[in-house]
Amino acid sequence: MRTRTLLILSVVTALAILLAGGVLLLQLSNQEQASDSIETGEPATVGDLEITVFGATESGGSFEVDVQIAGVDDDLSGFGLATAERSLSPVAAAADGRCSAVTVEPQRCVLAFDTSADSSTSRVLVVRRGDEQLIWSQP
């Protein structure tokens, strides 16, 4: 192949890539927010779960979120804490006032997360039920 042909092909390829990138940006800009937010003190529904977040505290390597949860009898597998470094699951060990499962009846309890190995300050509670997801971050 001649040099001129190669240059023309490379320019056409670059234009095709640029066009594809522009189309992708347009698609992303028209998308809705991936997750709705939970407002502090306001009940929210995600799937078959109703949750109210009252606040959170962090001390001694533990991040504790004060919640009221109700729905169906289930475990806490849909709850997580996203930090800048990792994603954490709730502490499953039973303790006084700590959430250990979701029940049909509303219960006010604390979701505890072990943050002792996490040096970041970013904390976002993520609640997933089925195809739905809600997030809460401390103001």
pLDDT digits (tens, 9 = 90+) for 65-124: 999 999 888 888 889 999 888 889 998 777 888 888 888 999 999 999 999 888 888 899
pLDDT at 37: 78
* Residue-wise burial string across 104-139, b where 16 or more C-beta atoms lie within 10 A, e elsewhere: eeeeebbbbbebeebeeeebbbbbbbeeeebbbebe
* Domain 36-137 class, CATH top level: mainly beta
Find the mean pLDDT for residues 124-136.
Answer: 89
pLDDT at 34: 57
pLDDT at 26: 83
pTM for the predicted model, two decimal places: 0.70
